Amino acid sequence: MYTKMTEIAEAVAIAAGRLLKENLGKPRSIEYKGAVDIVTEMDRASEALIVAGITSAFPDHGILTEERAEMPGAEPVRWIIDPLDGTTNYAHGFPVFCVSIALEVSGTVEYGCVYNPMLDELFTAARGGGAFLNNAPIRVSRSAELDSSLLATGFPYDIRTSRKTNLEHFAAFARRAQAIRRAGSAALDLSYVACGRFDGFWEMKLKAWDVAAAGLIVTEAGGRITDFTGAPFAIHGHECLASNALIHDEMLGLLAPNL
């Protein structure tokens, strides 16, 4: 049904990712949106490439992307784009980042792709059609206990000023899980939950472009995704808890005391 749209999404995600890879480690122009929230000229270059590719093919579609004002469309179709998830990593030459593109129709995310150019890995999912890594089906892990689980998380950009920082949650999980990783790209963390590399992920204060594509990939891979209370996940919500489903309730239990 959405074949042309998904083909365009994958093509521009790969093209943008390769552009980012080619320019990794070069001198950067960096602007600060907050104390630790930055944007580089490559965020904007990637975004321009993606938006141009989409609007040339679908001029009536809406676009929500990180670095520019929302572009409303004439049709009930909206593209949700993170042109560079992992900007701080990228600015430092740390090779953990990705491009994320989701296709939303009438308020429901129907398709998502996340491209990691450093490993040439394209994660994709269409609602009801399963999840894939480079066209091969993927599933979440079978780890049934938190004690033997590898988790991932991140910290909000307002960590220096807000009373809700995720530090209490981090301490609680650090005492229970086998290990925790903080790699700096929520879309990749979620994709890694989908393919079983991570068993669970939690983070707060994410944006729609961070989670729209990868959230669908998790559920289509057999995972579970909610907020920190177990309520249904929303891409415009403030909390994201994703897991292989088997450890989800145990993770909710550790989050509860610090909500």
Placement of tokens 């590399």 in the chain: 197
Average pLDDT over residues 231-248: 97
Write phi, then psi, for 253 (nearest 5 degrees): -65, -35
Q: What is the pLDDT of residues 131-152, one digit of tens each?
A: 999 999 999 999 999 999 999 9
Q: What is the pLDDT of residues 172-189, one digit of tens each?
A: 999 999 999 999 999 999
User: Using an 8 Å Cβ cutoff, are 122 and 133 in contact?
Assistant: yes
Q: Where are the domains of the chain?
A: 3-137, 146-258
Average pLDDT over residues 214-241: 97
- What's the pLDDT band for 34 if we cut at 50, 70, 90? low
* pLDDT, position 36: 63
* pLDDT, position 212: 98
User: Using an 8 Å Cβ cutoff, are 92 and 85 in contact?
Assistant: no
* pLDDT, position 138: 98
Sign of CA dihedral 188, 194, 195, 199: positive
Architecture of domain 146-258: 3-Layer(aba) Sandwich (3.40)
Beta bridge partners of 201: 152, 242
Of the candidates 101, 105, 135, 121, the one whose C-alpha atom is nearest the C-alpha of residue 211 is 101
Average pLDDT over residues 88-103: 96
* pLDDT, position 96: 98
Q: How far is CA 208 from CA 8, 103, 119, 233, in A?
A: 20, 12, 24, 11
User: Using an 8 Å Cβ cutoff, are 92 and 186 in contact?
Assistant: no
Q: What is the pLDDT of residues 211-225, one digit of tens each?
A: 999 999 999 999 999
User: Using an 8 Å Cβ cutoff, are 212 and 102 in contact?
Assistant: yes
Measured in whole angstroms, the distance separating CA 205 from the mean position of its chain's CA atoms is 12
**Distance (Å, rounded) from C-alpha 59 to C-alpha 188?**
29
**Secondary structure of residue 209 in the 3-state scheme:** helix
Average pLDDT over residues 55-61: 96
Q: Which CATH number fits domain 3-137: 3.40.50.300, 3.30.540.10, 3.40.50.2300, 3.50.50.60?
A: 3.30.540.10
